[in-house]
Amino acid sequence: MYKGIWPVAPTPFHDDGTLDLEGMKRVLDFMIDAGVDGICILANYSEQFVLSDEEREVLTRLSLEHVANRVPVIVTVSHFATQIALERTRLAKSLGASMVMLMPPYHGATLRGTPEQIFEQFKAVGEVGIPIMVQDAPMAGNDLTVPLLVRIAREIEMVKLFKIECIPATGKLRELIAVGGEAIQGPFDGEEGITLMADLDAGATGTMTSATIPDKIKPILALHAQGNREGASEVYRQVLPVINFENRQCLWRASKTAMMEGGVINSDYCRHPIAPLHPETRAGLLDVLRPIDPLVLSWGK
């Protein structure tokens, strides 16, 4: 069950900074048409850090209602306060989410949960009774050691998946799978799939990329799962320039720019203090996208 490509949906805004709810529906429809195996909402690549609590609830309801079980939906519920993470988890479960994604508790550059506090927060969220993906991301700054992750996997029944996007991800995935065994049901990578081939070789069963080119990344996972590593590597080499450009120069703005170019959404606006892409960077992104002819550039035209 826990395999394939589960990209993060961007949050579209109008040019005045208000939520584009119709655009959100189109984003979800595009992703499903692109063949994703699941969708994650309200993650860092959804610009969760510029959304109010009220907007989060609106987007959670809209997304789950609009997807209507066509694919599983992961709702990100991360918060420093365990009580708020619990409230978000209960809402997601009540609205029909398939699972939630949770980062360890942190706030700013210096306030982070201890290993025991991290375990306690995941345990509390697990008691809500919905599968959990642990997000091991550099943004949190927590040192999620393999022994801690394995303890979480073995002692908290609802912890099923692990999105490993720390540096270096490949070695950590390999060790996590070796030490955790059957408790590690869904080892995933992130970071737009920039180390995807190495991570698949290490045992990853899925990836959580951006929503820019899921139709071009999915065949890599399918070919690798079939034992055709040479074929997977060939496809990976074709898309790696896009992944690298996105990861190193654009981040979450890449999906929005590509979607605006392809008519999925009407604006690639990002809320201040996020700056828009420089015109040369935007042109460079489209320049590396066009040769691989991704669905995103034609879906809305």
The tens digit of pLDDT for each residue in 113-130 reads: 999 999 999 999 999 999
Q: What is the mean pLDDT of residues 71-90?
A: 98
Dihedral angle, C-alpha 185, 174, 36, 63, nearest 10 °: 60
Residues in the chain, overall count: 301
In angstroms, rounded to a whole number, what is the distance separating the alpha carbons of residues 161 and 104? 14
Backbone angles phi, psi at 234, to 5 degrees: -65, -45
Average pLDDT, the chain: 97
Does residue 73 surpass a pLDDT of 90? yes
Amino acid at 285: L
Say yes or no to pLDDT of 142 above 90.
no
Residue ranges of the binding site for pyruvate: 208
Sort 190 into a burial class: Cβ within 10 Å, 0-12 / 13-18 / 19+. Answer: buried
Contact indicator for 177, 202 with CB cutoff of 8 Å: yes
* 268 and 276 Cβ atoms separated by less than 8 Å: yes
Determine the pLDDT at residue 143: 85
Question: SS3 for 160?
Answer: strand
**Residue 97 banded pLDDT, cuts 50, 70, 90:** very high
Tokens in use for 43?
A: 């993650």
At 149, is the pLDDT very low, low, confident or very high (cuts 50, 70, 90)?
very high
Q: Which of 141, 142, 159 is nearest to 150 (CA)?
A: 159
Establish whether 163 is a catalytic residue: yes
**For the residues 175-182, what does the mean pLDDT come to?**
97
127/173 Cα distance (integer angstroms) = 26
Res 20 pLDDT > 90: yes
> What 3 state SS string does 34-93 have?
CCCCCEEECCHHHCHHHCCHHHHHHHHHHHHHHHCCCCCEEEECCCCCHHHHHHHHHHHH
**How high is the pLDDT of residue 141?**
87
Confidence of residue 1 (pLDDT cuts 50, 70, 90): confident
The answer, yes or no, to whether residue 223 has pLDDT greater than 90, is yes
Mean pLDDT of the 39-52 span: 97
- For position 196, what pLDDT does the model report? 98
Tokens of 231: 């074929």
Q: Which residues, 6 or more positions from 228, have their beta carbon under 8 angstroms from its beta carbon?
A: none
Evaluate whether 203 touches 181 at the Cβ level (below 8 Å): no
pLDDT confidence band for 109 (50 / 70 / 90): confident
3-state helix, strand, coil in the chain (%, to 5): 50, 10, 35
Average of per-residue pLDDT across 269-294? 97
Q: Of 93, 163, 218, 256, which residue is the catalytic one? A: 163
